[in-house]
Amino acid sequence: MARKTMQRRGGQRGSQRKRKSRRSRDANHLRGAKVKMEELDYKNIALLQRLTSAQGKLFSRKRSGLPAPMQRQAALAVKRARFLALLPFVS
C-alpha cells in the first residue's frame, strides 16, 4: 500500500517522468530581428510578409520580437498594404 502512494499517475515515479520536448522553431521565427522604424512601411512588402502568418495574421510581439510602438506601426502598415491590395487579406 505504501508503494502506491509514492507513485504518481501513470505508474511512473517523479525522477523517471518523461520531459516534454520544446517545439522546434520554424522559419518565420523573428525574435531579436533588427528592424528599423524607417523600414516599417506599407511599401516594404517583403518585411510585412515576414511579420504575418500564412493566414495573413500579424504575429504577436512575443513571436516577432518587436517593441510595442513598432508592433503598432507594423499593424498600421499591414492594414494600409491590404487596403491598397499590396498584401492579401487572407492567403
Task: Spell out the domain ranges in the chain.
Answer: 2-83
Confidence band, pLDDT 50/70/90 cuts, at residue 61: very high
pLDDT at residue number 18? 73
pTM for the predicted model, two decimal places: 0.64
Query: In angstroms, rounded to a whole number, what is the distance separating the alpha carbons of residues 88 and 38?
Result: 23
**Structural class in CATH, domain 2-83:** few secondary structures
Sequence-distant (6+) residues with CB within 8 A of 21 are: none
What are residue 46's phi and psi, to 5 degrees? -60, -45
pLDDT at residue number 35? 76
What are residue 86's phi and psi, to 5 degrees? -85, -30
